[in-house]
Structure 1
Amino acid sequence: MKNFLVLILLLPTLCLAQKRTLSKYAEIRILTCGPFQGELYSAFGHSAIRVNDPMKGYDMVYNYGIFDFDQPNFYLNFARGYLNYKLDVHEYRNFQYAYVYYNRFIHEQVLNLDQEQKQKLFDYLQWNAKPENQYYFYDYFYNNCATKVRDALKATFKDDLQFDGSYITTDYTIRDLAHIYLDQQPWGELGIDICLGLPMDSVATPEMYMFLPDYIEQGFNHASIMKNGQREPLVKNTIITNKAQPQEDQSSTITPLIVFSLLLIIGLIITFIGYRQDKGYFIFDTILFSVIGLVGWLLLLLWIATDHHAAARNFNLLWAIPLHFPLALFLLKKKIPDFLRIYFQASCLVNLVLLITWAFLPQDIHYSLIPLAILLLVRSYYIQRYLSFERDEDPSA
């Protein structure tokens, strides 16, 4: 009797531990969901895998795009490039409702798999969803919710699965591909362009295109799999579950180019007044160069102190020079040290060379930063010129 009670208590656990077997009516589908411009992180769309078995009442989505704000050291890990994402499993109807609610299209590619292949992929997903296997280090372009879908099939079918990248006829870089989805996110586009360096400007291979859900869909449409000894298309057919309605333009009218152009005009006015009145007005420069210097320190740390590989070798450091902060603080001193004149001479020269070579640099630096670079050039020149005259007039110099 005692053993019987123990068995009854353990029965739910034993059932959960058993391997699920799909029926012959089961389907596995690749879900591609459209972008939503209300948030930056949703502007690129989303990918997931649906396993639907009507015979067994199983209809779940395997979603690699989940992260937990409550995980230990969340913000520190995010900054260092160690952010844990995980594979989560939830009901398809809840998943579908969320994307329909936000007016995002849902395309479902039914995979052309035999019963053994379906079960093999399902077994992999079940293994991957276990607590000890579900976490992975997220990377914007190389290890995200879309690439994990592709990699799940590659890990399951290995050489039986082949992607034909010949349909890619463009020579876009990763940065170009990101820009396509950020037309309505000018500030987000600028932030990405500033923080991410030269690796973003390499021409993307067809496999690299697949960091975007749309190219996961296209890539799967141009993939094949060995089935019953013959190579067949990977996708049987595509079902449009939700067709999104035209969305309102979410882009802000206050763009970075407008803001930096206005800042340039303000800087030119201050420079003109300072020249006429023979005054430095260095409070403006202290704020300007300190902020730019702090941006430079951020970019430098992203490059050398984190695992954000796309942030390496960042040419934005040519205008966001880290030494601007704290050296700009010396402009507030009553007697400004002479080395600051030499420093701003160098800053003037660097910004001049940057503006001349802007179009020829191997890294695409955002065009809206041109007014800012001009302002840094003008104010660097004015500071060193003012300090030079001040030095010449000081008999003790």
Structure 2
Amino acid sequence: MKRTILSLWLLLCMVMLSAYSIRPQQVEQPFDSTKELSKVDFSKPLAANQADWVDRTSVSLLTVGPGDPLYAWFGHSALIVKQPSGTQIMYDWGIFDYEQEHFYLNFARGRMYYYVVASEATWRIQEAIDEERDVRLVELNLTDEAKFALITFLQKHIKTEYSTYLYHFYSDNCATRIRDIIDFATEGAFRAWAENEPGQGSYRQLTARNMIHSPALFWVLDTLQSRIIDTRLDRYEELFLPEKLHQAVVDFTYPDGTRLVDEVQVLQDRRDSGIRFTVSDDLVNYDWAYALFGIASTLLLLLLGSRLPVLRRIVSGLLFLALGVLGSLLLFMMLFSDMDMTYFNENILFLNPLLFASAYALLIQKKQGSRLAAYCSAIMLVLLVLKFLVPAFAQQDNIRTIAVLLPLYLSGSSFQGRRKRKKR
């Protein structure tokens, strides 16, 4: 009876955790770009000397394709100002410093501080070319007044008190900062146009295209994120991706029909070279592949159990140990980090620190199976039924997570049942 009550209590705790995320105190944004942009007059008349200088100056959007490190998988955006002297200054919002105070603690809590840095553009462009990345440059067709105000804003932006900002992968990054600058420079026309254009998908669907080449890492990061990233975006919202920003700038025309970009300058194109992964133009869906992986892995475990039950128990224990670590990370991010994309994650119902108990039973107590696995299996089956029958329960796209874990949990609980029947 006591074990039944304890099991019900654990199940109740798991259900409560799904809707319980302590939102941490709001961390002040050191430099709110849109707030400062709203103070700039992009139509202010220019003096004669200012008009002459800005007429011989250009502002261009630089877009760099994906690179090899994880942080470079999504590409990069920057602005380049070419002055009358020929000097090209690159304004880059994608700089972070491993040596900043409490860097790793801030990283774990989702408090990533990035910088804007101005540097000579030629060597930065050459660096991207040497890395065998796609590099494209487009000159922005702005009014002289808007161009002058934009350059003034950029020069102010790199001063110490304006150089640091709180990074957010989806809503405040190197591409969104430039997106907002272009919007203000076009006096709101860019945003008005993009918000009326349908987006291609959700945050999750768009980022999957850049990550699916690494299926295991994608599955982990996909599992850690909640329904917050599953709402369908308009075109302006999807401009957190450099490639999307580039294409939107190319497609945009002013209300009078004038184009924002006349010509795309391709400095290097390596998309068909086979050097690294390619990003699909269409949304990708590999739910079936993760389902097959989950079923195949479980069948291998069952086959191993029929021949080498001790080895199967150890392997299962190590799997539950790894899942317990992942569940602990998820719980930490939900409760104590500023990563809002992890809040209210229903995966906590079946992926949480309680899985350490299953690992302990398998590895230390040398027992086969897990009652907790049976509970988790039941929760996932209920969720699957609700997702197909009740649209309100389908807000979080976690089919891939369930597809991998459900066969594993089912095999653990059913194996326990067989062992008990044999003992009787």
Normalised by the length of structure 1, the TM-score is 0.78
User: Is 2:416 the counterpart of 1:383?
Assistant: yes
Alpha carbons of structure 1 residues 356 and 159: separation in structure 2 relative to 1, 3 Å: closer
Once the two structures are superposed, the pairs formed by residues 315-326 of structure 1 within 5 Å of their partners are 315-326=346-357
Once the two structures are superposed, the pairs formed by residues 142-181 of structure 1 within 5 Å of their partners are 142-155=171-184, 158-159=187-188, 162-165=191-194, 168-169=197-198, 171-181=200-210
Q: What do the CA deviations read for 1:96-117 (whole angstroms, capped 9, x no partner)?
A: 1012112222222211123322
Long gaps (5+) in structure 1: 1-19
User: Is 2:157 the counterpart of 1:128?
Assistant: yes
Alpha-carbon offset, residue 50 of structure 1? 0.4
1:62 maps to what in 2?
91
Partner letter of residue 379 of structure 2?
V
Aligned to 1:97, the other structure's residue is in SS state: helix
Q: What do the CA deviations read for 1:228-284 (whole angstroms, capped 9, x no partner)?
A: xx7843334332233336222646xxx97787555323321244358xx8x896434
Find the aligned partners of 1:356 and 1:45 in 2 and give their Cα distance: 38
Long gaps (5+) in structure 2: 1-48, 278-288
1:265 maps to what in 2?
299
Partner letter of residue 274 of structure 2?
E
Task: Please say which structure displays the higher CA radius of gyration.
Answer: 1
Find the aligned partners of 1:120 and 1:70 in 2 and give their Cα distance: 34
2:81 maps to what in 1?
51
Name which of 352, 367, 370 aligns with 2:403: 370
Contact 1:66 1:88 in 2 (8 A): yes
Find the aligned partners of 1:210 and 1:294 in 2 and give their Cα distance: 34
1:31 maps to what in 2?
62
Partner letter of residue 34 of structure 1?
G
1:292 maps to what in 2?
323
Aligned to 2:162, the other structure's residue is in SS state: coil
Name which of 341, 355, 379 aligns with 1:350: 379
Alpha-carbon offset, residue 62 of structure 1? 0.4
Partner letter of residue 378 of structure 1?
S
Contact 2:142 2:186 in 1 (8 A): no
Find the aligned partners of 2:291 and 2:358 in 1 and give their Cα distance: 27
Contact 2:64 2:136 in 1 (8 A): yes
Alpha carbons of structure 1 residues 61 and 237: separation in structure 2 relative to 1, 3 Å: same
2:246 maps to what in 1?
217
Q: What do the CA deviations read for 1:197-231 (whole angstroms, capped 9, x no partner)?
A: 111211112111101112112222344569xxx78
Find the aligned partners of 2:404 and 2:248 in 1 and give their Cα distance: 40
Alpha carbons of structure 1 residues 384 and 261: separation in structure 2 relative to 1, 3 Å: closer
Aligned to 1:68, the other structure's residue is in SS state: coil
Partner letter of residue 416 of structure 2?
I
Find the aligned partners of 1:358 and 1:389 in 2 and give their Cα distance: 37
Aligned to 1:132, the other structure's residue is in SS state: helix
User: Is 2:270 the counterpart of 1:244?
Assistant: yes
Alpha-carbon offset, residue 315 of structure 1? 3.2
Contact 1:352 1:377 in 2 (8 A): no
Name which of 67, 70, 91 aligns with 1:40: 70
Partner letter of residue 320 of structure 1?
L
Normalised by the length of structure 2, the TM-score is 0.73
Find the aligned partners of 1:185 and 1:269 in 2 and give their Cα distance: 27
Q: What do the CA deviations read for 1:270-301 (whole angstroms, capped 9, x no partner)?
A: 44358xx8x89643443222221221121122
Name which of 86, 89, 104 aligns with 2:115: 86
Find the aligned partners of 1:284 and 1:170 in 2 and give their Cα distance: 44
Alpha-carbon offset, residue 160 of structure 1? 6.1
Contact 1:319 1:373 in 2 (8 A): no
Aligned to 1:313, the other structure's residue is in SS state: coil
Alpha-carbon offset, residue 179 of structure 1? 1.8
Alpha carbons of structure 1 residues 243 and 250: separation in structure 2 relative to 1, 3 Å: closer
Find the aligned partners of 2:199 and 2:74 in 1 and give their Cα distance: 19
Aligned to 2:71, the other structure's residue is in SS state: coil
In the alignment of these two chains, the number of paired residues is 359
Contact 2:60 2:81 in 1 (8 A): yes
User: Is 2:266 the counterpart of 1:235?
Assistant: no
Contact 1:344 1:383 in 2 (8 A): no
Find the aligned partners of 1:345 and 1:256 in 2 and give their Cα distance: 21
Alpha carbons of structure 1 residues 74 and 180: separation in structure 2 relative to 1, 3 Å: same
Alpha carbons of structure 1 residues 382 and 352: separation in structure 2 relative to 1, 3 Å: farther
2:38 maps to what in 1?
none
Alpha-carbon offset, residue 384 of structure 1? 5.1
Alpha-carbon offset, residue 180 of structure 1? 2.2
1:8 maps to what in 2?
none
Find the aligned partners of 1:105 and 1:333 in 2 and give their Cα distance: 52
Once the two structures are superposed, the pairs formed by residues 99-138 of structure 1 within 5 Å of their partners are 99-138=128-167
Q: What do the CA deviations read for 1:323-347 (whole angstroms, capped 9, x no partner)?
A: 11245414456597xxx97544423
Contact 2:252 2:260 in 1 (8 A): yes
Alpha-carbon offset, residue 27 of structure 1? 0.3
Alpha carbons of structure 1 residues 116 and 166: separation in structure 2 relative to 1, 3 Å: closer
Contact 1:65 1:86 in 2 (8 A): yes
Q: What do the CA deviations read for 1:24-58 (whole angstroms, capped 9, x no partner)?
A: 3110011122223x2332222211100001x2242
Alpha carbons of structure 1 residues 89 and 348: separation in structure 2 relative to 1, 3 Å: same
Contact 2:223 2:401 in 1 (8 A): no
Alpha carbons of structure 1 residues 143 and 109: separation in structure 2 relative to 1, 3 Å: same
Which structure is higher in RCO with an 8 Å CA cutoff and minimum separation 6?
A: 2
Of 154-163 and 127-136, deviating more is 154-163
